[in-house]
A and B are shown apart, each in its own frame.
Chain A
Amino acid sequence: MISFKSFLLASCATALISSAAWAADPIKIGVIAEAQSVAGSSIAPAAQLAAEEINAKGGVDGRKIEIVVYDNHSSSAESVRAFQRAVSEDKVNAVIASYISEVVLALEPWAGRLKTLMITPGAASDVITQNIAKNYDQLKYTFHGYLTSTSLAGLVCDAAKDLLVEPYKMKTAVIMSEDAAWTTPLDAGYEKCLPEIGLKVVDHIRMSPDTTDFTPIFNKIEGLKPDVMITGISHVGTQPTVQWKSQQVPIPMFGISSQATNSTFWKDTNGAVEGVMFNAVSGPGVAVTPKTLPFVDAYQKKFGNVPSYAGYTSYDEVYMIADAIHRAGGTDPDKMVEAMEATDYVGTIGRIAFKPKGDPNPHALRTGKGYITGLMLQWQAGKQVNVWPKELAAGTATWPSFIKLKAASN
């Protein structure tokens, strides 16, 4: 019966889709995200876009995908309530949740208790997957669909070696990061990998995410005379960037600056972001995979702006969940987990596969050659230009006039 209906559906797809004649119950995917923040606001629309594309091609085994959106107002408590409602009232089969590590860490035990597959498109803390390693049977329902902080630190160091140490003979760095769950492993990663590429860490500044006046921080950093500031910022972004420019702090900013990945950041900072270099999994005009640019075009056409980094991953995650349900032959949670673990999918940010049970970070993305390598973008004259890795680069690094590069002229 079901197969007959799905055959019918496939044969006259468009006519039937508009009249919503679907084979069976829809597959429901809950999206719990931060509608009011730039990074989080792309999560739900991107998931919606993926669902529409999948539905237009007949859904998953004849079942329509429905996205149910919950705004969590960046709060862990509201996210937990939304998760409970999603599972018990709205009967979702899987949840895509948040770009904030604290939120995902709060939801992780609930995904286990309610046996509901959950994947995050943007949180970074390594603790998410370390928890899975400690208590696999209970927490196996959580997947980490974005890079862990340790992977991010490694990618930043790889890029710093090629972009800073080799051309400019840089020797010293100050780590400047915001005090949050995701930066603890990030900073540990930086502390370890920066010396390995030849950058001595002269100081490590963790600032409160409530900071509004960064003058004392920049003042202190400048006094230490490092060659570069290695950043780990996501909750803050506009203010340190604008004050860096307005105070003309002569040291480059390089590293993770999540807000800089968003296309509106130039406008938010009135162009102060010129010259800032930041890690990203995707960039405008960069064809990381054949799916990247078509996704960006479709998103832009539909919503009028460019997705944030968590938009790319959220879009991929709907496809991955759909694919897992197809392979699992239904929405049994344990079978879905098994199918997700076997994911080998080329998405918009690279080839996606999860680390297996037994790894210190099970269900984290595989990174490195052949999987996800990341990019280093730089804001140049209002545009995000990819400068690393070389094979995907669209331009070369340039610096604002107030930046003093010691060895640049050598």
Chain B
Amino acid sequence: MLFWQILIDGFAISALYALGATGFTLIFGVSGVLNLSHGAIMVGAAVAAWAAAGELGVGPYTGALIGVVAGLVLAFATYFIAVRPIQRSKAIAESEKEIFILTATLLWGIIIQEAIAYFFTNNAKTVLPIVEGVTTVFGVRTPRNEYFTAVICWVAIGLLWLLVNRTRRGKSVMAASMNPRGVTLLGIELSSIYLTVWAIYGLLAGVAGILLGMFLGVSSYSVGPLTASAFSIVVLGGLGSVSGSLIAAYVVGYLETATAYLISPAYRTIPALLLLVVVMYLRPQGLFGRR
């Protein structure tokens, strides 16, 4: 019974982690940007969905749609306000740009976080679930929304896979992540690739944020931990490796869930962080890293 409980809960949480981390790692793979406003964008999308459903009374579907749009808008805002000016700046040395972007996205994330706290208070919000009720499988009573979350996550990841492997645009994105210089030599504008990647990222982060808002709820306090968890999953899996992130998401998700059930919910995140430290020692490029 406990085994099934951990299996089911862990699967849903891990799927959510995987979706959140995929966009994060994609951006890094293609443009070398570590987007530390990641958590803020996820929370922003969830709060937008919550506010739309609550204030405007638009129902769960439209609310979720508005949330996804908010995620997209925030992702583009991050790119145009915090990232692109630094990438194009002549005043900042190339070698220092990475650290400037890191700082800029961190501060941008804090701005979003404080704005959310200011306008919507720092109390947690939950997004109106699209699917209600519970289902009992193997004697485990689970909210249907949890299954729904896992399904949507995998559908989104599957669509991303199709996009990257089956479309011309996606293939050029993939190529850019392997060799940006080579792609420009083939006559593809890197800046338009960046736009595509940030759009994909915005959609993924938006969907992940809304699902998290339905499943567990979010508050402005979730911003830091969400960024940290995406960051550690991506580092564990290997920076820039999408499949590595997916596997790492499941390792972290199950490790956390098992700890919460078998030891105590208070120690939930500790074993995963210890694992991260060990991996950093033994295999600094991550489990599946190329760089």
Contacts and interface: CB of A to CB of B under 8 A. Distances in A.
Interface of A: 36-38, 41, 74, 179, 207-208, 210-217, 219, 236-239, 242-243, 246-248, 259, 267-270, 272
Interface stretch (B123-131, B163-171, B180-188): B123-131
Nearest to B226: A212
Contacts of A246: 129, 132, 134, 143, 145
Nearest to A267: B54
B277 interface: no
**Residue of B54, B118, B123, B222 most packed against chain A (CB within 10 A):** B123
A216 B216 contact: no
A215 B5 CA distance: 10
B141 A238 contact: no
A37 B122 contact: yes
14 contacts: A36-B122, A36-B220, A37-B122, A74-B122, A179-B266, A212-B225, A213-B216, A216-B257, A219-B5, A239-B216, A239-B217, A248-B134, A259-B123, A268-B124
Contact of A247 (B117, B121, B134, B225): B134
B53 interface: yes
Given A246-B145, A247-B134, A247-B141, A38 B265 contact: no
B123 A217 contact: no
B261 interface: yes
Nearest to A219: B5
A378 B268 CA distance: 32
A116 B110 CA distance: 35
B275 interface: no
A262 to B, nearest CB: 8
A287 to B, nearest CB: 28
B265 A213 contact: yes
Contact of B123 (A38, A207, A219): A38
Nearest to B127: A270
A103 B54 CA distance: 32
A38 B216 contact: no
Contacts of A37: 121-123
Contacts of A208: 265-266
Residue of B118, B128, B222, B268 with highest tally of chain A CB at under 10 A: B268
A272 B125 CA distance: 12
Interface centre among A41, A238, A242, A269 (most CB of B within 10 A): A242
Interface string B1-20: 00001000100010000000
Nearest to B269: A210
A270 B219 CA distance: 15
Contacts of B122: 36-37, 74
Q: Which 6 pairs between the two chains have the least Cβ-Cβ distance?
A: A238-B124, A216-B260, A246-B143, A239-B217, A242-B126, A36-B117
Contact of A243 (B216, B222, B268): B216
Contacts of A248: 134, 141, 143
Contacts of B219: 238
A38 B126 contact: no
B126 A270 contact: yes
Contacts of B220: 36
Size bracket, chain B contacts: 20 to 34
Nearest to B60: A270
A16 B74 CA distance: 51
Considering residues B126, B128, B143, which has the most beta carbons from chain A within 10 angstroms of its beta carbon?
B126
A141 to B, nearest CB: 30
B124 A237 contact: yes
Interface-central residue, A41, A211, A216, A248, by most chain B CB under 10 Å: A216
Contacts of A237: 123-124
Interface string B254-275: 0001001100011010000000
A215 B266 contact: no
A212 B143 contact: no
A248 B129 CA distance: 14
Contacts of A216: 257, 260-261, 265
Nearest to A71: B118
Interface in B239-256: none
Given A36-B118, A212-B216, 10 more contacts: A36-B220, A38-B121, A211-B265, A211-B268, A213-B260, A215-B9, A239-B124, A242-B126, A247-B143, A270-B126
A195 B84 CA distance: 64
Contact of B126 (A41, A213, A268): A268
Instruction: Please indicate which of the listed interface residues B145, B257, B265 has the most CB atoms of chain A within 10 Å of its own CB.
Output: B265
Contacts of A74: 122
A213 B117 contact: no
A212 B121 contact: no
A219 B261 contact: yes
The residue among A237, A259, A267 with the most chain B CB atoms within 10 A of its own CB is: A267
Contacts of B261: 216, 219
A212 B217 contact: yes
User: By CB atoms of chain A within 10 A, which of B117, B121, B145 has the most?
Assistant: B121
Nearest to B114: A36
B123 A270 contact: no
Nearest to A259: B123
B260 A238 contact: no
A211 to B, nearest CB: 6
B105 to A, nearest CB: 22
B248 to A, nearest CB: 19
Nearest to A40: B121
A207 B9 CA distance: 19
Interface in B108-124: 117-118, 121-124
Contacts of A247: 134, 141-143
Contact of B125 (A207, A236, A238): A238
A238 B265 contact: no
